[in-house]
Structure 1
Amino acid sequence: MKTTNQDCPKNSYKKVGFDLKLKIIDEIHNGRISINHASDKYQVSRTSIYFWIKKYATLDQKKQYMSKKDEIKRLKEKIEELEFVKDFQQDVIADMELLTGVDMAKKSLPETLAKEIEKKKQDRLKRNG
């Protein structure tokens, strides 16, 4: 019995002109298409697309394709900043509620945030006597 040895089909890619390269980069940059989808749609390798992005993309576009570590670091910094802003705003609301006697948080904020502000008010009352 003879077995035939079938090779894996090799992807054949076509040569891509400069204008099409820029079009692909632009579509990816504007979020209309992913790199994987562009590779399938235009029959070009992902490696080629990454190379084009590196070679032809503007500085702003290159920033969009930052490494995962850099992106995680940036997002962690943003989370810290937003948590600081949230705590500050809650402190201000708690102080205003103590001064005015009006429960603004319960009326206009989600329940979890209103509970946090209520806790801050209780802590302030304990500290101030």
Structure 2
Amino acid sequence: MKTKKEHWLKKSYQKATLETKLLVVDQILNGQVSTNFAAKKYDVPRTTISYWLRKYSTLVQQNTGMSKNDELKKLKEKIEELEFVKDFQQDIIAGMELITGVDMSKKSLPKSLAKEIELKKKNRLKQNGSMDVLGLVNKPSTKDLKHNKNNK
């Protein structure tokens, strides 16, 4: 004869130590285990683990993480680095477009970046003069400049 499972009785759990709680929270935050797996592994209800996550996640992050000022500083440095890389790449694209005569940026980049590259090309042409098909710079010579002044 089968006995019915008495579902109204609460399951008793062993009290977890602070180290265990922090270990579980750290593993979940690092993506090593899921909440469900941790509940089965450590024999703790999922709701309890959710409570631990809310309560101890900031504590774990404070112990292992960096301060907000340090994080902001690091992010600002990363932004500066990425802006430098973007400018460098735009200079290369502008140079290639001037050499080849093909507007690659208009076809494949967002409008805002294509406009920035177009401005870089115009500035480069103002500084260097015009370019011929082979990419050689045709700077106006002093003789040409004098001739243009005399004609005006």
In the superposition, the TM-score normalised over structure 1's length comes to 0.65
The equivalent of 1:50 in structure 2 is 59
| Aligned-pair identity (%) | 54
The equivalent of 1:28 in structure 2 is 29
Determine helix, strand or coil for the equivalent of 2:71: helix
CA change 1:117–1:47 in 2 (3 A) is: same
CA change 1:68–1:39 in 2 (3 A) is: farther
The equivalent of 1:41 in structure 2 is 50
Q: Which digits, 9 at most, give the CA deviation of each residue in 1:6-60, with x for residues without a partner?
A: xxxxxxxxx5324343112211233978xxxx98823588369616973xxxxxx
Contact persistence 2:97–2:103 (CA under 8 A) = yes
Cα deviation for residue 70 of structure 1 reads 0.5
CA change 1:48–1:83 in 2 (3 A) is: closer
What is the RMSD of the two structures over their aligned residues, measured on CA atoms?
Answer: 3.2
CA–CA separation in structure 1 for the residues paired with 2:51 and 2:24: 11
Structure 2 stretches lacking a partner, 5+ long? 1-14, 36-46, 130-152
CA–CA separation in structure 2 for the residues paired with 1:85 and 1:52: 31
Contact persistence 2:91–2:120 (CA under 8 A) = yes
Which amino acid letter does the alignment assign opposite residue 22 of structure 1? L
Contact persistence 2:22–2:56 (CA under 8 A) = no
Contact persistence 1:97–1:104 (CA under 8 A) = yes
Which amino acid letter does the alignment assign opposite residue 73 of structure 1? K
CA change 1:40–1:101 in 2 (3 A) is: same
CA–CA separation in structure 1 for the residues paired with 2:27 and 2:89: 40
Contact persistence 2:25–2:56 (CA under 8 A) = no
Structure 1 segment 30-109 matched on structure 2, within 5 A = 30=31, 41-42=50-51, 46=55, 50=59, 54=63, 62=64, 65-109=65-109
Which amino acid letter does the alignment assign opposite residue 50 of structure 2? K
Q: Which of these two proteins has the greater Rg computed from alpha carbons?
A: 2
What stretches of structure 1 move > 4 A for 4+ residues in a row?
A: none
CA change 1:49–1:16 in 2 (3 A) is: farther
Which amino acid letter does the alignment assign opposite residue 55 of structure 2? R
Structure 1 stretches lacking a partner, 5+ long? 1-14, 55-61
**What is the aligned length?**
103
CA–CA separation in structure 1 for the residues paired with 2:106 and 2:61: 53
